[in-house]
Amino acid sequence: MHKDEWQEQEHQEIQLNPIFIEIVDLEGNSMDKSPNLGTNRLLFHPNWSSKEGAWTINIGGQEVRQKQMLLKHEGKPEGYMLLATSFEEARELLDNLRNILLILYPGILISLFLTMRYLAGKSIQPIQKIISKTNQITQSNLNERVPVLDQEDEIGQLTRSINELLNRLEQSMIREKQFTSDASHELRTPLSVMRGTLEVLIRKPRTSEEYVKKIQTALESIDRMSAMIDQLLALARVERSGESMKDEVEIMSFVEEVAVQIEKETGREVRFQTEESIPVFVQVSEKSLQMILNNLIQNAIKYSDGPIDLEIQVENGKPLIFVKDQGYGIGEESIKKIFDPFYRDPSALEKLIPGTGLGLAIVKKLAQESGIEISVSSELGSGSAFRLGF
Ligand code: ADP
């Protein structure tokens, strides 16, 4: 049918988009073929099924893609039509694509790598600034801070955290320096008193009463110094030991025992009071609690003349211990400073009440280490109440 179609260019020649056609019978004997096949033949597949796709063969040195179709006449298979077309262009396209990919792929990879390196470098630039600044900060320039570049992102948060850490370090350095200078000052005072007393004593011969009096003054200075050194050692021990071991302490009997013991030792009335009747247990270092109560009661004894009250209240199942006196009280100005090391109220100095100003600093440290909350309320002339919460 339409045999003249075979005269068209694509069936005649093999240079430009040739289409090869061959008709075979059911055994594969060639019945007719397009002129461009010349003496070549297309490849016949005897066991062909219509599901099979196309295959590649070689005709006259050219790669071609071939297909096989069943020809029927009035529903009866009569033969096959073999169709083939040049695969050269497709091959060229595939080759070009492969070459382009071979060049592009490493190119893209390299440029991606370089871009990423650049971007990563740019994004860690602020971190490098932080590193170089923190490396510069030492004990001598602890007041300097890392500049905060961006307030919101993680790097901004990191910078702020580092600055807060520096703040805390600076504050503790300042406190440490202040403490050392206060300690030297406090130790120098009794030493100067002692030196002065002894110098006066050797200037000329004295009566034996004068010798006794002056030596007594010197001994008082020595006592003051050794009390202070004891307190300093106690403070250093608390700081060094860190968080102390906790015991299960029954507060009612523990505080009552402390009251009885101190009353016995000092001869001052220490009254134990509570409205609770059931035992209350807390997890606390017994030794620390004993030291805290001792210090507070010794202060109450020093700064008052009347009886001392040790009171326990229970709030939401948690005990509160009060150490109360009806003594001189603490002024508004002093109350903020009494827990500072070496702070002594001017009235205590005036009244010549012995002390080092370290007792409450030790109490505060011990309370911090043991997880006890300490607060004070006081009124000048009517007494003070120290409150311990667990
Ligand atoms: P010290 O008693 O050796 O002076 P502390 O650290 O124990 O040192 O106390 C600091 C200061 O707090 C005291 O100098 C005193 O002025 C004041 N203070 C402490 N406890 C009381 C109290 N119960 N009543 C009045 N003042 C007190």
Q: Is 231 in the pocket of ligand 1 (CB under 6 A)?
A: no
Give the span between the Cα atoms of 236 and 24, in whole angstroms: 110
Order of strands, edge to edge, in the sheet holding 270-274? 270-274, 308-315, 318-325, 383-389, 373-379
CA angle 67, 71, 72 (to 5 degrees): 155
What angle do the packed helices 286-302 and 251-266 form, to 10 degrees?
A: 40
Mutational test site, ligand 1, from 182, 292, 360, 378, max ligand atoms within 8 Å of CB: 360
Taking CA 83 as the corner, what is the angle to CA 77 and CA 84, rounded to the nearest 5 degrees?
160
pLDDT 10s digits, 163-192 = 999 999 999 999 889 888 888 988 898 899
- Pocket test of ligand 1: the residue of 270, 295, 303, 353 to mutate, having most ligand atoms within 8 Å of its CB, is 303
- 327 φ/ψ sector (left φ>0, alpha ψ -120 to 50, else beta): beta
Distance between CA atoms of residues 243 and 365, nearest Å: 10
What pLDDT does 235 receive? Answer: 81
H or E segment to which residue 281 belongs: strand 281-284
Q: In the Cβ-directed half-sphere of 290, how many Cα atoms lie within 13 Å?
A: 13
Paired residues of 248 in beta bridges: 283
- The closest of 254, 390, 247 to 310, measured between CA atoms, is 254
Q: Which residues of the chain have pLDDT under 50?
A: none
CA pair distance 64, 42, nearest whole angstrom: 10
pLDDT score at 239: 76
Inter-residue contact 290 to 244 (CB < 8 Å) = no
